[in-house]
Amino acid sequence: MQNRYAIEQLIEAGEWISQKGWVPATGGNFSAKTDSGFVVTASGHDKGQLTAEHFLQFDIHGQIESGAGKPSAETDLHLSLYQLDDQATCVLHTHSVAATVLSRFITTDTLMITGYEMQKSLTGVASHEETIQIAIFDNDQDIERLAEKVTARYQHSPLYHGILIRGHGLYAWGRSPAETRRHLEGLEFLFACELERIKLEASL
Ligand SMILES: CSCCC(=O)C(=O)COP(=O)(O)O
Ligand SMILES: [Zn+2]
């Protein structure tokens, strides 16, 4: 992807994600692969109101090539996902209520989802009868350490579509910005359904 096109795609994704209410305050960060590495959002901005100045260019080894300001505090996670999945070209990180609460409610290291037609919004999933497994990692302010945990788990068994960080949010990825948006929207829908189901079951 050309640098300018990648940035345009991420600005548009940010407006859409913000309208959905998935990046409150300054939460979330986005990146996309480019011809020389990847672009990532700068830290501390409203991700629904991004302009081209809010991006930094990194090479694929994680060295800043250009851009002003401070890179996202979570750049290491984006870098690790690109290094692990060579098909990934876009990573969108969000802070929805559903992802935040559900990842706290589930105390194990995996969220299992089955029974929903919308599972088929995820590439490679063909039936509601399949079980989607979304890895959950405990939140950590040391993002390098968190990225190492994601890497270790991925190397043991590959991760698909997205991961949850407990009490924090979702990282979704895909082979294009459009596929990443589909994975993000599909996963957010499934998380919201699971949260509703759990609440209903508790009230019976
Ligand atoms: C109130 S947002 C806390 C930091 C965070 O989790 C996030 O996604 C945004 O961090 P960034 O440095 O990318 O702005
Ligand atoms: Zn975050």
What are the residue ranges in the chain where pLDDT is below 50? none
Quote the percentage of the chain above a pLDDT of 90. 99
CATH 3.30.465.10 for the 3-203 domain, yes or no: no
Task: Give the pLDDT confidence score for residue 204 in this predicted structure.
Answer: 87
Query: 139 C-alpha vs ligand 2 centroid, how far in Å?
Result: 10
- Find out whether the beta carbon of 44 lies less than 6 Å from any atom of ligand 1: yes
93 is known to lie in a ligand binding site: yes
Query: 127 C-alpha vs ligand 2 centroid, how far in Å?
Result: 31
Residue range 7-19, pLDDT digits in tens = 999 999 999 999 9
Task: Give the pLDDT confidence score for residue 4 in this predicted structure.
Answer: 96
Q: Which of 23, 47, 49, 72 to mutate to test the pocket of ligand 1 (most atoms within 8 A of CB)?
A: 72
Within 8 A by CB and 6+ apart from 82, the residues are 31, 33, 38, 60, 88, 91
- Find out whether the beta carbon of 73 lies less than 6 Å from any atom of ligand 1: yes
CB burial of 9-45 (b: ≥16 within 10 Å; e: otherwise) equals: bbbebbeebbeeebbbeebbbbbbbbeebbbbbbbeb
Residue range 148-170, pLDDT digits in tens = 999 999 999 999 999 999 999 99
Task: In whole angstroms, give the CA distance from residue 21 to residue 55.
Answer: 21
Q: What value, to the nearest 5°, has the Cα angle with vertex 139 and ends 91 and 102?
A: 80
Residue range 68-92, pLDDT digits in tens = 999 999 999 999 999 999 999 999 9
Mean pLDDT of the chain: 98
Task: Give the pLDDT confidence score for residue 47 in this predicted structure.
Answer: 98
The residue written with tokens 């350490």 in the block is 145
